[in-house]
A = this chain, B = another copy of it.
Amino acid sequence: MANDKKLVASITSRDEDFAQWYTDVVKKAELTGYTSVKGCMVIKPAGYAIWENIQKELDARFKETGVDNVYLPMLIPESLLQKEKDHVEGFAPEVAWVTEGGLNKLQEKMCIRPTSETLFCDLYAKDIQSYRDLPKVYNQWCSVLRWEKTTRPFLRSREFLWQEGHTAHATAEEAEARTVQMLNVYADFCEEVLAIPVVRGQKTDKEKFAGAVSTYTIESLMHDGKALQSGTSHNFGDGFAQAFGIQFTDKDNQLKYVHQTSWGMTTRMIGAIIMVHGDDDGLVLPPRIAPTQCVVIPIRQKAEGVLDKANEITAALRASGLRVKLDDSDRSPGWKFSEQEMRGFPMRIELGPKDLEAGNCVLVRRDTREKLVVPIEKAAEESAKLLQVIQKDMLERAKQFRAEHTYEAEDYETFKETIDQKPGFVKAFWCEDVACEDKIKEDTTATSRCIPFGEEAIVPEGAKCVCCGKPAKKMVYWGKAY
């Protein structure tokens, strides 16, 4: 099999050069392709099929909470982008401008949306008059453009796909509840579907979204110990409403500003799947998101009965709702095994003449390589069970990895040494002064990832800022990040 592997491709070892390993996996698993358009990627069938499953799962969860999908223009007139001061400062440096259309120079230039707060505000200002028009809970699936200087497939590219939810509410309480609700939708989705554990928390003022009162985030940990911001949910208070004049007549007949939120998740999550679960043989896809969950590989497929039975097994798995395919091409079984591993299909079923004689087939897990011999007539049932076990085990392993790579630091020397020597999260207290955040970033390149929710956020009496030693006000997750 070692020899067969070269038929597929050899990839850089993950522990040797993580960045090169990532690039190799993305390329060899045919998730993306290069293009003549600098900083942009082509998402190929194997990559796009993962995104389709992400969309399907997330969209169903959104709709359960009452979200309506809409579509707004991809262009934003300059004057509209400039209406909210913090927002334009945050985004103006990284947008692309359309200045000519239909052979003429435009009177007012327009940018390609980097995000659509301003367009939703423009819509809400027209459509909201009364408390009866509230809440508005809209979402759109689209692509956005940000003029990044250095790019990497899925993790940072000039154009990327995402969903952006934008809501308007009658009260501050309702907006806050929606902000938290959507963060939890993201967190549950990551853990249940992608098998990626996340830390839920709040961004510091320095790291929050341009124009937001507060930004909530979920942070996940990659295999190289770097953090990845995996989804954010923003509470805007009534700041945008004031800038755009979004007012409604409430039940008490008073004219009031609405309270707004926005929240987004992107194709970056495909990068997270790769970096959390992948190994030296390639991609490892969690069963719930894998476009192909199982591949059936006949051994000596010209031997009597083998291909027929492989077809039967495939049909049985498909009938029980699994996403399965049969590889009856003329390539060698070893080549097919390596390909299944490279592409990250969660399991394969091997079936040869000897298995057939014994009435068995062999289930092989992608994540652990464990083999399970089962009676052919139980192939579908056992595969369904096995996929559930794989899904659960992948989450457990990722949780364990994160636990083993989450550290604490009480003094600055330990903090700096940990960041430098031990890739992972570092939990440490902070005085809430942006100067300490700046210093930490300058000294270590680490940033504050989030102030976690719940018990672990409690700051005990006498706790001191890890950087300046002054009284601490917050417990913070720190880390180097993508």
Question: Which residues from chain A sit less than 8 Å from chain B, CB to CB?
Answer: 33-37, 40-45, 48-49, 51-52, 68-77, 80, 93-103, 109-110, 112, 119, 122-123, 126-127, 138, 142-143, 145, 147, 149, 159, 161
Would you call B37 and A75 a contact (CB within 8 A)?
yes
Additional A-B contact list (14), CB under 8 Å, known A42-B73, A48-B70: A33-B127, A35-B122, A36-B80, A36-B122, A37-B77, A42-B70, A42-B71, A45-B70, A49-B68, A75-B145, A75-B159, A93-B103, A94-B102, A112-B112
Once the chains bind, are B149 and A45 in contact (CB under 8 Å)? no
**In the complex where A42-B123, A142-B143 touch, is A72 in contact with B35 (Cβ < 8 A)?**
yes
A93 to B101, CA, bound (A): 8
**Contacts A77-B36, A126-B33 known; A102 to B43 CB distance under 8 Å?**
no
Alpha-carbon distance between A93 and B138 when the two chains are bound, in angstroms: 35
Residues from chain B with Cβ under 8 Å of A42 in the complex: 70-73, 123
Inter-chain CA distance A74–B147, complex, in Å, is: 13
Give the Cβ gap from A64 to chain B, nearest Cβ, in Å.
14
Please report the C-alpha to C-alpha distance between residue A119 and residue B35 in the assembled complex, in whole angstroms. Answer: 8
Minimal beta-carbon separation of A25 from chain B (angstroms)? 18
| Contact residue among B34, B71, B99, B122 (Cβ-Cβ distance under 8 Å from A100) | B99
CB-CB under 8 A from A68, the residues of chain B are 45, 48-49
The residues of B that contact A37 with a CB separation of less than 8 Å are: 73, 75-77, 110, 119
> Which of these, B48, B149, B161, contacts A102 with CB under 8 Å?
B149
Q: Which of A72, A73, A143 has the most CB of B within 10 A?
A: A73
Cα A278 to Cα B119 in complex, Å, equals 30
Q: Known interface pairs A33-B127, A93-B102, A101-B97. Does A44 touch B73 (Cβ–Cβ under 8 Å)?
A: no
In the complex the two chains form, what is the Cα distance from A138 to B122 in whole Å? 36
Given A33-B127, A126-B33, CB of A73 within 8 Å of CB of B119: no
Chain B nearest CB: distance from A355 CB in Å?
A: 30
Cβ–Cβ contact B40 & A73, under 8 A: yes
Residues in B with CB closer than 8 Å to A138 are: 45
CB pair A74–B143 under 8 Å, yes or no, is yes
A90 to chain B, nearest CB (A): 14
Q: Do A71 and B96 have beta carbons less than 8 Å apart?
A: no
**A-B CB contact pairs (8 Å), 20 listed:** A34-B126, A35-B73, A36-B77, A36-B122, A37-B73, A40-B73, A42-B72, A42-B73, A44-B70, A45-B68, A48-B69, A71-B161, A74-B112, A75-B159, A94-B102, A96-B100, A97-B99, A98-B112, A99-B99, A102-B147
CA distance A33 to B110 in the complex (A): 20
Q: Are A40 and B71 in contact (CB under 8 A)?
A: no
Closest to A267 in B: B71
Roughly how many angstroms separate A43 CA and B100 CA in the complex, as a whole number?
Answer: 25
Q: Look across to chain B and name the residue whose beta carbon is closest to the beta carbon of A148.
A: B102
Measured in the bound complex, the distance between the Cα atoms of B44 and A147 in whole Å is 29
A100: nearest chain-B partner, CB-CB: B97
What 10 A-B pairs come out closest when comparing CB atoms? A102-B147, A45-B68, A40-B73, A97-B100, A43-B71, A96-B101, A37-B73, A101-B147, A99-B99, A96-B98
Measured between C-beta atoms, what is the minimum distance from A30 to chain B in Å?
A: 9
Please indicate the chain B residues that have their CB under 8 angstroms from the CB of A99 in the complex.
97-100
A429 to B405, CA, bound (A): 78
Q: A93 to B103, alpha carbons, bound, how many Å? A: 6
Closest to A45 in B: B68
Note all chain B residues with C-beta closer than 8 A to A119. Answer: 35, 37
